[in-house]
Amino acid sequence: MNLDKLSIIGSSGSQVEVERDALQIYTPDETEGFSWTTATADIVAGETAILVTNLSTTKVLRITQAYIFSDVHSAILLNLPTFATFTGTAVVGIPLNRSSISIAPATAYADETGNGSENTFARISTNELTTGQHGVSVDLKGMVALGYRDSFSMDIVAESAEFYSMVMGYYR
């Protein structure tokens, strides 16, 4: 969109003018959405269920959704760990825009052991029942913004024989 000036009129009738290039307008086809989903695994207490790291030097990865299931009652830590040499099972980002052939400029791992539980910003819990376990979903609304080599992870505090996890996000 090529604009020299854009006038915006608010609900109160006030008008704001924005100079060219001062406002960046995104359309849905300019965002690249991805989902990283783990296969089930036996995880040791305190390990990372899933870790996603942005490797783009030009785009920010915004995390919108996180989901986790554990077969045991456990605290789940949502972390922003520092970049390290990560290990674990590689997880491929699946593009959510099926008209695109984009490959996520990210690296992701399940059952990851090369990082620590640092920069924890949320602690959630799976259900306390021993039967009828259910997963926990967290709507992050894109508030977690990952620059180059920034990471997001979810740790399971208790030892779990079975878990599933998923992270969704988009690049801008």
Q: How confident is the model at residue 59 (pLDDT cuts 50, 70, 90)?
A: very high
The token duo for 105 is 């400029």
**Angstrom distance (rounded) from CA 72 to CA 49:** 14
Query: For position 51, what pLDDT does the model report?
Result: 92
State the average pLDDT over residues 92-98: 88
Q: How confident is the model at residue 24 (pLDDT cuts 50, 70, 90)?
A: very low
Taken in order of first residue, the domains within the chain and their CATH numbers are: 29-171 (2.60.120)
pLDDT higher than threshold 60 for residue 10: no
Q: How large is the greatest C-alpha to C-alpha distance in the chain, in angstroms?
A: 62
pLDDT higher than threshold 80 for residue 31: no
More confident residue, 35 or 16: 35
- Tens of pLDDT, residues 105-129: 999 988 777 666 778 888 888 765 5
More confident residue, 19 or 159: 159
DSSP, res 145: E
Q: How confident is the model at residue 130 (pLDDT cuts 50, 70, 90)?
A: low
pLDDT higher than threshold 60 for residue 81: yes
Q: Give percent of the chain above pLDDT 70.
A: 73
